[in-house]
């Protein structure tokens, strides 16, 4: 028995007329009658009483109709569930992210993803770039949002945001009166830096910027989270280079100033296991690209 036989049977049972059923099925009446006869022969039960004017279900036909509805409904459910999995509409997704991502594109990405894929269970983990790399290898997360253009075997990386660096200063700092701050004036300042071992590429970027200005930064403190760095700046323990999006983090006692010189930009990057073919991961990556592209276009207008 084939599924088409069930669909043919149900259509005839609903219409109780072979002509109308054939029209619904977009086929000729004679082949339809033959298909129903083959079905009855296969199960060795008469499903319809036929006269020249009327068609009626037999008692066995009524039972078979109920069971056919159940089978077809279960099939539709199975197809829908399979499609949802295949299209990345259901499942689980573990996402790692650096804290600074919460002040820029991450909230919009998560909001849009939740709207479009409500059946996907999201698990979010705030981790440093180095921790995310290890978590990807250990399969503890599926996607990372990192602060550096990493180059690690087996991992893909793609930039979703480029932004300038700004200077975070205590609000009582003498430079707070300036609209822009020159790098050459920072040689004697104390800096709060992100640890080299937790984000070596970002750390090296800061060191290189200072060295090109003719000095090596004097490190007063190190802190892993950007929010902690800003807190230490507010306490007057030093100044810090931070991504421009961190200006969305409002903390009393801290002001932000752009740099007078052009400096290399810092980025946010998606990273994932190269050979992971999960539809949920593919769906998130596609949506993240579209969302960040829209944000970039909006910022340029």
Q: At 219, which helix (H) or strand (E)? A: strand 218-222
User: So what's the pLDDT on residue 82?
Assistant: 67
User: So what's the pLDDT on residue 84?
Assistant: 59
User: So what's the pLDDT on residue 273?
Assistant: 95
Q: What are the start-end ranges of the H helices in the chain? A: 3-15, 18-25, 29-43, 59-86, 106-116, 129-137, 200-212, 226-234, 279-300
The last residue of one of the domains, among 86, 101, 118, is 86
For residue 68, how many other CB atoms are within 10 A of its CB? 19
Q: How far apart are CA 75 and CA 85, in angstroms?
A: 15
Q: Which domain holds residue 210?
A: 165-264
Shared-domain flag, residues 31 and 82? yes
3-state secondary structure of 37: helix
User: So what's the pLDDT on residue 300?
Assistant: 41
| Residue 144: CATH number of its domain | 3.40.190.10
C-beta separation of 171 from 253 below 8 A: yes
The last residue of one of the domains, among 51, 86, 121, is 86
The tokens describing 223, both together, are 């802190």
User: So what's the pLDDT on residue 297?
Assistant: 44
Shared-domain flag, residues 141 and 225? no
The tokens describing 298, both together, are 């909006």
- pTM attached to this predicted model: 0.65
User: So what's the pLDDT on residue 299?
Assistant: 42
The pairing of beta strand 266-273 with beta strand 254-258 = unpaired
Number of domains in the chain: 3
The tokens describing 126, both together, are 């705030």
Shared-domain flag, residues 259 and 271? no
User: So what's the pLDDT on residue 168?
Assistant: 96
C-beta separation of 101 from 82 below 8 A: no
Shared-domain flag, residues 102 and 233? no
User: So what's the pLDDT on residue 81?
Assistant: 64
Cα distance between the two ends of the chain = 62
User: Over the chain (301 residues), what is each successive 10-residue block's mean pLDDT?
Assistant: 83 88 90 88 89 86 88 78 61 90 91 89 91 94 91 93 93 92 95 85 90 94 90 95 90 94 91 89 91 54 37
Question: What distances in angstroms separate CA 262 from CA 1, 149, 209, one per listed residue?
Answer: 73, 20, 10
Q: How far apart are CA 192 and CA 8, in angstroms?
A: 74
| Residue 54: CATH number of its domain | 1.10.10.10
Question: What are the backbone angles phi and psi of residue 45, rounded to the nearest 5°?
Answer: -145, 140
């Amino acid at each position: 028995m084939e599924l088409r036989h069930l669909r043919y049977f149900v259509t005839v049972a609903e219409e109780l007329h072979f002509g109308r059923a054939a029209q619904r099925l977009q086929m000729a009446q004679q082949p339809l009658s033959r298909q129903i006869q083959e079905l009855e022969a296969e199960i060795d039960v008469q499903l319809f009483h036929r006269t020249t004017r009327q068609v009626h279900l037999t008692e066995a036909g009524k039972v078979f109709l109920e069971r056919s509805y159940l089978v077809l409904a279960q099939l539709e459910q199975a197809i829908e569930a399979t499609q949802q999995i295949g299209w990345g509409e259901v499942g689980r997704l573990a996402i790692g992210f650096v804290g600074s991502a919460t002040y820029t594109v991450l909230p919009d990405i998560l909001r849009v993803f939740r709207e479009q894929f409500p059946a996907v269970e999201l698990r979010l983990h705030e981790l440093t770039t180095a921790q995310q790399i290890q978590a990807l290898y250990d399969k503890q997360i599926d996607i990372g949002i990192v602060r550096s253009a990493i180059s690690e075997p087996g991992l893909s990386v793609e930039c979703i945001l480029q932004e300038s660096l700004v200077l975070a200063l205590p609000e009582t700092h003498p430079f707070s009166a300036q609209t822009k701050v020159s790098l050459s004036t920072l040689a004697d300042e104390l800096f709060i830096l992100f640890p080299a071992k937790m984000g070596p590429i970002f750390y090296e970027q800061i060191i290189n910027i200072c060295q090109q200005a003719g000095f090596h930064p004097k490190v007063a403190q190190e802190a892993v989270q950007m929010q902690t760095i800003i807190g230490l700046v507010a306490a007057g323990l030093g100044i810090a280079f931070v991504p421009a999006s961190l200006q969305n983090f409002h903390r009393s006692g801290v002001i932000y100033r752009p740099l007078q010189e052009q400096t290399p930009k810092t980025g946010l990057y998606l990273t994932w296991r190269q050979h992971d073919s999960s539809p949920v991961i593919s769906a998130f990556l596609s949506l993240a690209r579209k969302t960040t592209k829209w944000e970039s276009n909006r910022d340029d207008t």
